Amino acid sequence: MSKSISLVLGSGGARGYAHIGVIKALEEAGYDIKGVAGCSMGAMIGGFYAAGKLDVFEQWARSLTYLECLKLVDISLLSDGAIRGDKVFKILDDMLEGVEIQNLSIPYTAVATDLTNQKEVWFNSGPVERAIRASCAIPSLILPVVMDNRVLVDGGVLNPLPIAASVSVHADAIFAVDLSAEVPMPGGKVEQSESEIASKKEEKNEWFSNFAQKAISIFDRKDKPTEEALDANLGKLGVMYEMFETMQASLTQYKIAGYRPDLLVKIPSHSATIYEFYRADEQIELGYMIAQRALEAYERGEANTYGQL
């Protein structure tokens, strides 16, 4: 069986840490990744892998705590976007050392969305950090990237699983990782209990509340908005986040139907919320575990039945 693959990494916020575990499982099984295409968090992990610096990123990601994630949040005017992202992307650029896509050892494509012309943009050259930043700019949550008279936002707006971007890679098979799969956690129940759902909502409300308090604290006294105004804006952001997640999950199914990969690794959509970037350890382990199971089935010549009842 061929071990030469083109890898497609989907979007899904903090669930994207699972991509690291998937790559670990692929390498352990002897697969040769000839090229990688990614969207949003998939573009980030794919970019670090192609640059040969995934271990550096993993070490940093595993070190992040809940409070450290909050400290990295830099507030902009809430009407334009909640997070500028300058702090995070400065750290990422330092780790990448300014490497450019055309100088990577394997083909790499990051997918963003051009709002000005309403189409996908595939980054195949230029700084890796800039491509990642454009691909990760979630509308209403992270400020867009303005480049060449275009407004670029998260590739998940049009293509959360960019399988088509990997077709040109000279490999024998295409493997894709879906972060929005409606499948149960390994060894768990198909559905979450009411208490688990309530707990997740409470945790989400706590995060947005802390986010609001941080926003209030950084404004000058004369410009400080009321807590009620911030809560209203952050409530809207929460709704936008839910809408974006729902839209991505639906679009992913269309992309899979149009360009069916040879192997689809399915990460449960409820394994983490989009902003839980302090949960790297468990998401990496989850990706590794699910990928191992999927690869075992693939190598037996069977379909990956994980999550199918």
Question: Hey, which residues are catalytic here?
Answer: 40, 154
Q: Which string of DSSP letters, residue by residue, matches 238-263?
A: HHHHHHHHHHHHHHHHHHHHHS--SE
Report how far residue 51's alpha carbon sits from residue 294's, in angstroms, rounded to the nearest whole number. 26
State the CB neighbour count (10 A cutoff) for residue 151: 16
- Which residue spans within the chain are E strands per DSSP? 4-9, 32-39, 108-114, 119-123, 145-147, 150-154, 173-181, 263-268
Q: Which residue type, as a one-letter code, is found at position 196?
A: E
Q: Which string of DSSP letters, residue by residue, matches 171-201?
A: -SEEEEEEEEE--PPTTS-SS--HHHHHHHH
Burial class from Cβ neighbours inside 10 Å (0-12, 13-18, 19+) for residue 44 reads buried
Burial class from Cβ neighbours inside 10 Å (0-12, 13-18, 19+) for residue 164 reads middle
Report how far residue 128's alpha carbon sits from residue 121's, in angstroms, rounded to the nearest whole number. 14
CA distances from 288 to 20, 98, 283, 301 (A): 8, 29, 9, 20
Residues 6+ apart with CB under 8 A from 53: 95, 96
What phi, psi does 220 have (nearest 5°)?
-65, 155
